Structure 1
C-alpha cells in the first residue's frame, strides 16, 4: 500500500506539473496574443489620429489659401478703385481748369460775339418753334441782342420760317456763369442749353475716350473704339 500511495502521489505531482506548464504556456500565448492585439489596436489608433491630424492641417491649409486668395482679390480691387479714383480726380481737375479758361473766350469780345451768334442760331434750329425765349447773363444782353438779329436773318433764309425771339430781361443766367445762352420754347417746356459750361460738358463727354487715352494711354481691356 505504501508503494501504491507513493506512485499515486508521483502521478499527481506529474499531472500538476503538466497542468502548471500548460497554464504557463497558455498564459504566455494569451500575453503574446494580447500584445499583438494591443500593438494592432495601437497602430490603428495612431494611424487614425495621424489621418485626422493630416486632414485637419490640409483643411487649415486650404482655408488659409482661400483666405489669401480672397484677401488678394480685395487688395487688387481696392488698388484698382484707388487707381480709377486717381484717374477720375485728374480728369475732374482738367475739366475744372478748362472751365476756368472759358473766361479767356469771353474776354475776347469779338470771338465771343461770333460764338454767341452760332449758339443762338443752333438753338433756333434745334427748336424750330415760331416763338422762342432766350436767357443769358445780364452783362451779355447787348451782345446777345446783336447775335439774335443776325441769327434770325440766317434762320429765315435757311428754314424759310419766321421766328419771334424774346430776350428775357427778368430771368438771367447766373452772373458767375461762364457765358452762352439758354433757348426755350414759348411754353418753356423745351430747353436748349447752349451755355459755355454745357457745351464744354458735352464736348468732354464726347471726347472722354480720347482724353483718357491722351492722359493714361490706350486701355488694354477695351475691345471696341466706338
Structure 2
C-alpha cells in the first residue's frame, strides 16, 4: 500500500510539472513495441530507423520500376483472366450451339418422320379407297357385261322360239298330217283327263278336223287304257283363239286341242303353243348348249 501511495505521489508530481520522461523501449509492453515497429517508429538498438514509406516517402527509380512492373503484371494477369473468361464463354456458347443444333436435328427428324408416317397412312388410305373403287367398278362392269350377255342370250333364245313358232303354221297347212296330229294330241289329252265323259275345245278353223278326229282319239285312248271308249263332245260355243296375224300381240293359238272334264274342273291344254312351251322348258339346257356351247 505504501508503495502504491508513493507511485501515485510521484505521478502527481510529474503531472504537476507537465511532462513525463520517455519510457525506454526495452521497458515498453510487447504489443506496443510491435505496433511501433510496424509503424516505423521503433528501430532496433544501434540501427537507424527505416526510411518512411507511403505517399509521403520520396520516390526512388528502383521503386518506380517496381511499381511499373507491378502494374504490368497486374495488366497481364487481368488480360489472362479476361482471355480465360472469354475462352470459357466461347466454349460454353459453342457447347450450347452444338446442343441446340443436336436438339434441332432430333426434333426435325422426329417431325419429318411423323409427317412421313402421316403421308404414308394417307397414301395407304387413298390407295385402299382407289382399289376398293376399282373393284366396285370392275364388279359393276362385269355384272353389266353379264347382264348384257344374258339379255343377248335371252333374245337369241326368244328369236329361236319365235322362229319355231313361225314354223307351226306349216304344220297346219298340210291338212293330212295335221289331222293325224290332232288325233294324237286329243288321245294324249284324254289320257291326262281320264274321265268317262269329256269335252274338246279347238279353233273355229279346226272344228271339222277335230270332229272327225275325236272318235278316233277316243278309240285310241280306250285301247291304251283298256277301258270303254269315253263319251266325247266337241265344244262349238267356246273356241280357242285364232292363229296370230303379223303384228298381233294378243292371245293366239297355232293349233291343237284342249280336253276337259264335263264340269271343267280337270283341263289339259294340248295345243301346239303349249307343246312348244313344254319343249322349250324341257330342252332349254340343250338349246343353250347348241346355241352357246355351254
TM-score, length basis structure 1 = 0.86
Q: Does 1:165 align with 2:165?
A: no
Structure of higher RCO (CA pairs closer than 8 Å, 6+ residues apart): 1
Match of 1:174 in 2: 241
Matches within 5 A, 1:148-163: 148-159=214-225, 160-163=227-230
Matches within 5 A, 1:1-226: 15=81, 17-159=83-225, 160-176=227-243, 177-217=253-293, 219=294
| Structure (1 or 2) with the greater helix fraction | 1
Question: Hey, what's the Cα distance between the residues in 1 that align with 2:229 and 2:175?
Answer: 29
Based on CA coordinates, which of the two structures has the bigger radius of gyration? Answer: 2
Judge which range, 143-152 or 73-82, deviates more.
73-82
Three-state SS of the structure 1 residue aligned to 2:263 is: coil
Structure 1 residue ranges, 4+ long, deviating more than 4 angstroms after superposition: 5-17
Check the 8 A contact 1:155/1:161 in 2, yes or no: no
Alignment deviations for residues 36-90 of structure 1 (CA, whole Å, 9 cap, x no partner):
1001110111122122222222332232223222222221221121112111101
Structure 1 residue 101 displacement after superposition: 1.3
Structure 1 residue 162 displacement after superposition: 4.2
Structure 1 residue 12 displacement after superposition: 6.3
Judge which range, 143-152 or 64-73, deviates more.
64-73
TM-score, length basis structure 2 = 0.67
Question: Hey, what's the Cα distance between the residues in 1 that align with 2:274 and 2:220?
Answer: 24
Structure 1 residue 155 displacement after superposition: 2.1
Alignment deviations for residues 130-163 of structure 1 (CA, whole Å, 9 cap, x no partner):
2222111011111111111111122223321442
Judge which range, 38-47 or 76-85, deviates more.
76-85
Check the 8 A contact 1:180/1:194 in 2, yes or no: yes
Alignment coverage as a number of residue pairs: 218
Give unmatched runs, 5+ long, in structure 1. 220-226
Three-state SS of the structure 1 residue aligned to 2:270 is: strand
